[in-house]
Copies of this chain bind each other. A is one copy, B any other.
Amino acid sequence: MSQKIAVVGSGLIGQNWSMIFASRGYKVSVFDVDQGQITRAEKNISVTLTQYEKDGFLRGEIPAAEQTKLVTFTSSLQDCLSGAIYVQECVPENLELKKKVFAQIDELIDGETLVASSSSCLPSSAFTESLKNRHNMLVAHPINPPYFVPLVELVPAPWTKQEVIAKVRELMEIVGQSPITLRRESLGFALNRIQYAAINECWNMYQSGLLSAEDIDKVCYDGLGPRYAFIGPLQTMHLNADGIVDYCKRYADGAYNVQKETFKPIPVQYDVETAEKIQAEYNASIPLDKIPEKRKWRDARLANLAKMKNHLEKDS
């Protein structure tokens, strides 16, 4: 009999997690307080999995109809958690709410159940400190949209047991996600630190009038981004010379000089005045009312890229 996973919260992130767990045959019980939201989530998962199957995007080897059946819904937190080996919390990013939900979960689980929060900013130490099962709790932060962008940032609290981190990492790998492990809590986790660093230089270049916003974006999506879809910044250094040590000997002084001459001191404040100029520039290409359409455009590409990466890995 397949094992059970509990998903607490049935918004978009909860739905993505449910489909990810079901793709590898786990039984998923999804909890929500809002019956209307449950109805929408149930329908959305069914429609989405059917569509993914049609488009060749479905994960795992199980047909969509069977995956859909693996996901059930409940408005009883007790029923949701009962017998679950793992709980993925997906409630809105609000400290008081996380505290409340984690306290309820803590009361209903046994000492074996592992509990991860999908929190994108809040460290789990902020809402698990006083709980009796806190050693089994951590953050497992997904990236949007999780079904097609597999990174999961595992961030332990100071009291999270090492074996718990290892088990959650293993579970993430089993279901096809791509876990990384932070060795301690750190503001912004890892992805946002790289993202803010990249934005900083985009912001500085725009503010100094060096390039248009459209051209700055193009530097990324037609230049640096394709590379970063397959290899990371450190690997890039390693491959662009005879290893990363050789890279540093050859290029580190040049990189230092570029930074010294062109970078502004950090932290950089993303000011509304500059944002307004950029937004005015986007009025021709991505006006506010076209944002939902452009998000769909992006997600279709992320789905195709995920499929392609999967196929290439199987071939090589």
Contacts and interface: CB of A to CB of B under 8 A. Distances in A.
Interface of A: 121, 143, 148-151, 153, 178, 180-184, 186-188, 190-202, 204-206, 209-213, 215-239, 242-245, 247-249, 251-252, 254-263, 265-272, 275-276, 278-279, 282, 286, 288, 291, 294-295, 297-298, 300-302, 304-306, 308-309, 312, 316
A229 B302 CA distance: 9
Q: How many copies does the complex hold?
A: 2
A254 B121 contact: yes
A259 B252 contact: no
A145 to B, nearest CB: 10
Nearest to A254: B121
Q: Chain A interface mostly helix, strand, loop or mixed? A: helix
A300 to B, nearest CB: 7
9 contacts: A151-B223, A187-B258, A202-B234, A228-B228, A238-B282, A248-B272, A263-B266, A300-B312, A305-B308
A214 to B, nearest CB: 8
Contacts of A195: 224, 233, 236
A263 B193 contact: yes
